[in-house]
Amino acid sequence: MTAKLWNTSNGDLLSTYRGHNAEIVCLAFDPLSFFLVTGSMDKSANLWNLETTQKVFKIDGHSGEVINISFNTDGDKILTGSFDYTAKVWDCYSGDMICDLKEHNAEISACQFSYSGTYIVTSSIDKTCKLWDVRKTNYSLHTFQGHEDEVLDASFNLTGTKIASASSDGTAKIYNVKTLSTESTLFGHSAEVSKVCFNSRGNLVMTGSSDKTIRLWDSETGSCKQVLDGHKEEVFSCAFNYEGTAIISASKDMTCRVYKDEILLNNN
């Protein structure tokens, strides 16, 4: 029920943030690292001042657990996704709710701002992803369908022109934001795909799966470029470094792995 801030150069503990009444399951820094926001199974989120360690305000508007949280690029808005079937956008300075995204028919699994902050993608256990315009929030712009099971993750590329989704049906999909069409379905994993993300250039998509592997895909053709193995249990998280020259993965085998590879280097 706490969040802790650590010095990355020596591992020293700098601060501890207390105030939630249940597990903290998601957190994020604002772009300038003035604030930390934490989301919890207690159905709330807290905004913290990193320097003073004091709570700025409590975000208390969800009726279900807050399982996904992030800032927009400008750092003036916070996005929360919840098991109450909704995602909500909040003003970072006042704590007021700006918009309520509530068309899904099941729990939200992931939500993300586009880099410009204009659009939001949400994914849900209802097997869909939805695209939203922050300026027009009475309804979603589009619902992406096609997955046969729960959608567990969704992510924009850096330019906001593509969205990738990951599903329990063992596939990932790439969508075109302009045409609102499905560009590729990524077949290859033998179990659910729980994580998907683009590299910074947007030419690679990475997926992590319960089949214990990570796959790298060409975002234009949908072809699999490489399979990374080594984990002994399911991979539940993976990410590129900013340069796209390395990957870190996390698994239920209680290890993290860092990969550096010729394909990664040749594509960046």
pTM, to two decimals: 0.94
Confidence of residue 137 (pLDDT cuts 50, 70, 90): confident
Q: Report the CATH architecture of 1-102.
A: 6 Propeller (2.120)
DSSP class of 89: E
H helix or E strand, kind and range, residue 164:
strand 162-167
- Map residue 264 onto helix, strand or coil: helix
The torsion region of residue 180 among left (phi > 0), alpha (psi -120 to 50) and beta comes to left
pLDDT digit string, tens, across residues 94-135: 999 999 999 999 999 999 999 999 999 999 999 999 999 998
Gap between the Cα atoms of 213 and 195, Å rounded: 11
- Report yes or no: 45 and 32 within 8 Å, Cβ to Cβ: no
The tally of CA atoms less than 13 A away on the side-chain side of residue 247 is 30
Nearest to 171 by CA among 192, 154, 157: 192
Its sign, for the CA torsion 135, 136, 138, 140, is negative
The predicted structure's pLDDT at residue 267: 58
Confidence of residue 262 (pLDDT cuts 50, 70, 90): low
Gap between the Cα atoms of 218 and 206, Å rounded: 9
In which residue are the tokens 């590299």 written?
Answer: 199
Structure tokens, 27: 């957190």
The predicted structure's pLDDT at residue 57: 97
pLDDT digit string, tens, across residues 197-233: 999 999 999 999 999 999 999 999 999 999 999 999 9
The predicted structure's pLDDT at residue 136: 84
